[in-house]
Amino acid sequence: MIKERKLRTFNGYSAIVVLFILQILGFYLNNLAIEAHAGWWIPVSLLFDILVFVCWFGLFMVHPNQGRVAQLFGTYMGTEKTTGLRWANPLYIKQKLSLRIRNFESEKLKVNDNRGNPIEIAAVVVWYVTDTAEASFEVDDYESFVSIQSEAALRNMATSYPYDQHEDGETALRSHAVIVAQKLKEEIQERLDKAGVSVIEARISHLAYAPEIANAMLQRQQASAIIAARTLIVEGAVSMVHMALEKLKRDNIVELDAERKAAMVSNLLVVLCGDRNTQPVINTGTLYS
């Protein structure tokens, strides 16, 4: 596996000064050879000028959050990340590679959750290149590699959890967003390590039941919500009835036998648990008529 290493380069502005001096020296040697009629020296001075000219192509620019991956005849020589004007061997092939943070949003994938229900899911992955050598030489196209492996990790993660929580303590896609996001990040990172890429964050951006079961699941969610609300209402109503009976008994307001208590409990529960407003009925007789 090829690992990133530092490329040996020089300050570009200092290199410009040196090349200018060598260029002037070459012109001086050419004029000196012509004046001295030294024919054998002219080819040497021309070769010197050509070498100086070629050295000008060793200058290159490195922008912030950018790396230059250098190769010499197919051999990896190193990566330069120092910003500014730099100079290196003009025979190096210097490939630009961005180190900036990037976003990738997957397509809406249709998968089955842990219980076999078809769902639609998508995710946003925030990533950047940390090892330029691995990104350049270990995979064919690291950007395509990130997108494909992220979607594969998302599919695998979605099949590991149910869409909704059905049991206490169960981790679900909809109710445990933080846990699911951490799991997704770890799984994507494991797949992208070989490409020299680090994942900053991975979160679900879209989550829904597939259209063919969306209506049925909506009715199921509504029924669950109604049952939960009814349970809370009944618990509150029973508590209020118990409190009312205890207060009547404690303050000696009225003595009720078992039958009258049952009737009172029934009436109070109807009033407290009913969906519609109750109509009062005035009893002008006794409690038993």
- Domains of the chain, residue spans: 10-97, 102-209, 214-273
**Which has the closest alpha carbon to 57: 90, 88, 20, 21?**
90
Q: Are the C-beta atoms of 124 and 202 separated by less than 8 Å?
A: yes
Q: What is the pLDDT along the chain (289 residues), one digit of tens a residue?
A: 788 899 999 999 999 999 999 888 877 777 766 666 655 666 777 788 889 899 999 999 999 999 999 999 989 999 999 999 999 999 999 999 999 999 989 889 888 888 888 888 999 999 999 999 999 999 989 999 999 999 999 999 988 888 887 677 778 888 888 999 999 999 999 999 989 999 999 999 988 887 775 565 666 666 666 676 777 777 777 777 777 777 767 777 666 666 666 766 676 666 666 666 666 665 555 555 5
What residues have CB less than 8 Å from 244, skipping those under 6 apart?
A: 264, 268
Domain 102-209 has CATH 3.40.50.2300: no
Tell whether pTM > 0.95.
no
- H or E, element range at 273: helix 258-273
How far apart (Å, rounded) are the C-alpha atoms in residues 250 and 111? 62
